[in-house]
Amino acid sequence: MRFTLTAFLPAILFFCSCGQSIEEIEKLPIDEKGKALYENNCASCHGVDGKMGNSGAKDLSESTLTDQETINAILYGNEKGMPPFKDQLGSEENITLLLAYVKSLRK
């Protein structure tokens, strides 16, 4: 019996999808949003605890960036390969909640 990749593509896409949509996150209680935003947008490179460093990502537990520097990195990415997340985050409130969560990972 011979199978092609296209036969399994819908299942592969379903199981490899990236977490919750921004619409789903918006419905969460405020105390869960920062973590959900982090898990959706940051954890694949920085790790759940901020220490993974996949693809050269910085260890967030050792970050000394100011709040504004962190926000700029989140929104606009950087020249070292981090992509911008401005369009994925939705509101300014989400940016503030994500910043607070990222800071909570620091030592």
Residue 80 maps to which CATH number? Answer: 1.10.760.10
Distance (Å, rounded) from C-alpha 38 to C-alpha 41?
A: 5
List, for the chain, all residue ranges whose pLDDT scores fall below the cut of 50: 3, 5-17
Confirm whether 63 is domain-assigned. Answer: yes
Render pLDDT for 65-79 as a digit per residue (tens, 0 to 9): 999 999 999 999 999
Confirm whether 11 is domain-assigned. Answer: no
Amino acid residing at 101: Y
Angle between helix 92-104 and helix 67-76 axes, rounded to 10 deg: 120
Confirm whether 60 is domain-assigned. Answer: yes
The pTM of the full predicted model, rounded to 2 decimals, is: 0.81
Q: What pLDDT does residue 68 have?
A: 98
Q: What pLDDT does residue 19 have?
A: 85
Task: Tell me the residue range of the domain where 56 lies.
Answer: 24-104
Confirm whether 10 is domain-assigned. Answer: no
Confirm whether 82 is domain-assigned. Answer: yes
Distance (Å, rounded) from C-alpha 74 to C-alpha 95?
A: 8
Q: What pLDDT does residue 16 have?
A: 44
Total domains present in the chain? 1
